[in-house]
Amino acid sequence: MKSLRPLLRVTQLRTSTLLIPPTRSRYTQHQGVKGIRKRKSFYEAQIQAGMREQNEPTVVNTGGMGFLDDRAYDEVVGGAMRIRRDVAISQHVFILQPYIKWSAKRTTPNNVTPDDQLAEATALVHSLPNWQVARSLKVPLESLERTTLFGSGKLAEIKQLLTQLRQERQVSCLFVSKGTLSFAQKQFLEAEFQLPVLDRYSLVIQILRLHATSSEARLQVAMAELPYIWAQAKDASVTQIRRQGYSLSDMQKEILRSRERKLRAELEDVRRQRQLRRQKRKQLNYPTAAVVGYTNAGKTSLIKALTKEDALQPRNQLFATLDVTAHAGYLPCNLQIIYMDTVGFMSDLPTGLFECFVATLEDAMLADIIIHVQDLSHPCHAAQRAHVESTLRALALSVSGDNANSGELPPIVNVFNKSDLLKPNAQIAVLTQHENTNIGHLTSARNHTGLHSLLKDVEQKVLAVTGRRKLQVRVPSGGPEMAWLYKNAAVVETKADEQNAEKILMQVVISQCTLDQFMREFC
């Protein structure tokens, strides 16, 4: 068996990626001499590693995602996060929404009520198929840091409710709507209630697993799981008397380290590929607009309304979009623009969870402008807006690294979406405020209202950021100059020259660099 292990490792390396090497005759390993297979396998592995670095653009991924489906890892993540790969199993969830009863000690915005928090927790549970809310309860607390989390009286009350609930229906798990629970808190609550306990982080990961269909999304979700598992294991006490942390064996720790190394390597490849795409778009001189916002604010619906792309299918779900995708549209000046659809944000979750999506969120941070879509009909609209803005600033710093000057955000266009869901009196109040402040655009992606003023504002900001301007050029009708401008600039309109029938007036949107090229070519 010892002689087979190197071969198995090399075999796994071969199936992960398909390289395109120079044509050569196939080598058949000798089967009868001991030791040859080991030496030859090691030699070929070194050759392939060198070729991978030299011919990186010609690597075709054929099975590199296989390490994500690891049963040994599933045991580790199941023990730490209480999640499972099969989400089709029906679950009846008891939701507990803790909140600080003294406003001076609260970390949540003052305009976010416990009822709003409970409504969002309920929406999280309903985002998973076959998951139902058996019961929900708001629990006032003085602190969220106690090991028991709840006091003895409240624990007894919850136990009594669970006993009554179990007589009526089955309860399969307990969802404590708190960003992250320490392992000590989770262990105590599971022992008290005899149920698996999930926090917001672990439930969101379960939702992300369900919606991650592309290879990029699966890689980023897998990366987002690891910080939580390590944090749970970090609580382990060095003494044997009191061991509170998640007990990981040396083999399990090595599984996590190996998985993290592979994920970082794969995500770095994703980052490079997206950088190449950005460079290609830059060479083609396409302006880009990143569409960001709180989850389920209507980002994909707005892009569909702006681009008239029938293939886009928005869903009324939390975290329905995990991939940053590009969609082409046109501004009123006939300039083509690329809209980047992005993953939605959510409050009461560590920023580190979204930092695992930096490989794709870089497209948003490096766009020419940002379109911030907000759900105007949501009662916590202002708090959601503030959270997204703070998350964007944190991600901008993460993308820029040590370069503090590049951590600035692009110009932001605020879009107040779902205005059609407001009551008539609320619509009048919002319209009055909008006219007085002019801080954003009232739109309804469903009814296609407010889009024209939004596009005009986007156009103005894009022209300013990219250095483009509107010009009127007189060129020979049907000549090469006219064809060149149609190919390299955005033609707004054309009309005949009243002074010269052989000339035509073309109003174009053009950058200074392209204009200089035109002048060298034809003047």
pLDDT at 34: 41
Which among 451, 437, 309, 481 is positioned nearest to 371, based on CA atoms? Answer: 451
Provide the pLDDT for residue 454.
Answer: 94
- C-alpha pair distances (Å), 69 with each of 7, 64, 88, 203: 21, 11, 17, 19
d(CA 358, CA 366): 11
Regarding whether 68 and 25 lie in a shared domain, the answer is: no
Q: Are residues 190 and 96 in the same domain?
A: yes
Which of 233, 254, 280 is where one domain is finished?
A: 280
Length in residues, the chain: 523
Based on the domain organization, do 254 and 148 belong to the same domain? yes
The structural domain count of the chain equals 4
User: Do both 518 and 457 map to the same domain?
Assistant: no
Domain that holds residue 21: 4-62
Do 271 and 333 lie in one domain? The reply is: no
Biggest CA–CA distance in the chain, Å, is 97
Q: Which helix (H) or strand (E) holds 476?
A: strand 468-476
Sign of CA dihedral 505, 508, 514, 515: positive
Query: Do the Cβ atoms of 229 and 256 come closer than 8 Å?
Result: yes
Q: Are residues 381 and 405 in the same domain?
A: yes
Which residues on adjacent β-strands are paired with residue 197?
A: 174
- How high is the pLDDT of residue 238? 45
Return the pLDDT at 437: 56
Q: Which of 14-23, 59-68, 229-238 has the highest mean pLDDT?
A: 229-238
Q: Which residue has the tokens 């624990």?
A: 155
User: Which is higher by pLDDT, 38 or 114?
Assistant: 114
Percent of the chain past pLDDT 70, that is, above it, reads: 77
Identify whether residues 15 and 164 lie together within a single domain.
no
Residue 58: what residue type? T
Chain CA centroid to CA 73, Å: 23
- Residues β-bridged to residue 339: 289, 327
Is the pLDDT reported for residue 382 higher than 70?
yes
Are 131 and 251 found together in one domain? yes
Residue 351: which pLDDT band, with cuts at 50, 70 and 90?
low
pLDDT greater than 80 at residue 27: no
CB 457 within 8 A of CB 333: no
Q: What is the pLDDT of residue 62?
A: 36
d(CA 139, CA 136): 10
**pLDDT, tens digit (0-9, with 9 covering 90-100), for 389-444:** 988 888 887 776 655 555 688 899 999 999 888 877 666 666 666 655 567 888 99
> Is the pTM higher than 0.85?
no
With cut-offs at 50, 70 and 90, classify the pLDDT of residue 460.
Answer: very high
What is the phi/psi pair of residue 337, to 5°? -135, 150
- Of residues 478 and 13, more confidently modeled: 478
Mean per-residue pLDDT of the chain:
78
Examine the domain organization and report whether 267 and 313 are in the same domain.
no
Q: What is the pLDDT of residues 293-331, one digit of tens each?
A: 998 899 999 999 999 888 877 877 777 777 778 899 999
CA within 13 Å, CB half, 201: 22
User: Does 219 share its domain with 80?
Assistant: yes
346: burial class by Cβ within 10 Å (0-12, 13-18, 19+)?
Answer: buried
